[in-house]
Structures are given as C-alpha cells and as structure tokens.
Amino acid sequence: MIECSVFGYLMEVDCICNHLKLHKRTDKTVSEAVYSNGTNVLLVSKEDDGIYLSSRGPPDRNKNRMSFCSRVQKSRIRTLDTLKEFLSSFGFELVREGQVELTTFEKGAGRIEISRSISDEGNSQEVDTGRYWLVKVFVTSENTQNGERMLSRLIEELEDQVQLIKPSIK
C-alpha cells in the first residue's frame, strides 16, 4: 500500500480536537522504537493490543507531489524478546526509542494522528521539544493519485486549524 502524508506542528490541540469531534477518536500511549538501515525505516510499536512492526520504504522523489508518498506495510508480531538481534542481523540499527502520546481520528480512508513524545523530566532538551504536537494527516491507498485526491479533501477540512506541509527530502 502507498501512504500519502503531510505534516504540521501545534502547541495547543484543543481546537483541532474539537473540530474533529465527529470523527472516530482513539487515545493511547505507545512505546515506539525506530530502526533504520539507511534506505528503509522500521517502526516497532508496543500498543495495548499487541506489538506491531511497520515497514516504510524510501519516499517517492517526485517533486510535483503535494504529499510525502512511500510504500508502507504494517504487521502484528508475536515477540519482542529477540527482535533487536533479529533486526541487527539484517543491518538495521536503533535510531530512537521512547513513549509517545497519540490521539488518532479516523474518517473513511483518512487518518489524522496527533502525537508528542513523553519525555523524562530530567532531560531539559527533550522537555523543550516535547511541548509541540506533531500533526500527521495521511491516507493509505493502492496508488498515489487516489491517495493524494483523498488527502486533499482532508487538508481542505483542516486548513483553518493547522498549516500542513510536505517535508523536503534530502
């Protein structure tokens, strides 16, 4: 599947949550670990209902796209005990891990994730970056054209709440 996404940042999320009150809402705290081998990124998330492994391929480099598009696959896995050794045997290295506070709104094929890191109070650098909420608006579809068409409707709905942008690719 192809995920088309745009991003934004907010200091306060009350207004956007109120704006999205008619959508299906899920609140949770997730333990996440990000692994990379240079070209591919794996996200291991430990949630209440299980452990998930999300694979993300390299992004589409088409500069005419309005969104960040990449191939994604999410699978539920059984164990976390030997996962780190297993991934390192394939060249993946741990990039970052921590707790994330996550609110998800669903509307059809579109999703809006509002998240921020839950930092340790002793680390002042992380406390400062944890003040902002990351807003990720995305659609997963069979192809990029349909994904971007559906995503544009979500962006229009949220344009008075948050400025959403496509990140630049280096």
CATH-assigned architecture of domain 2-158:
Beta Barrel (2.40)
CA–CA separation, 116 and 20 (whole Å): 18
- CA distances, 109 to each of 45, 56, 116, 152 (Å): 21, 18, 23, 12
What is the model's pLDDT at position 120? 52
- The DSSP annotation for 96-133 comes to EEEEEEEEEEEETTEEEEEEEEE--TT-HHHHHHTTSE
> The whole model's pTM is what?
0.85
What is the model's pLDDT at position 82? 86
The 10s digit of each residue's pLDDT in 21-37 is 999 999 999 999 999 99
What is the model's pLDDT at position 119? 66
The 10s digit of each residue's pLDDT in 141-164 is 999 999 999 999 999 999 999 999
pLDDT at 130 over 80: no
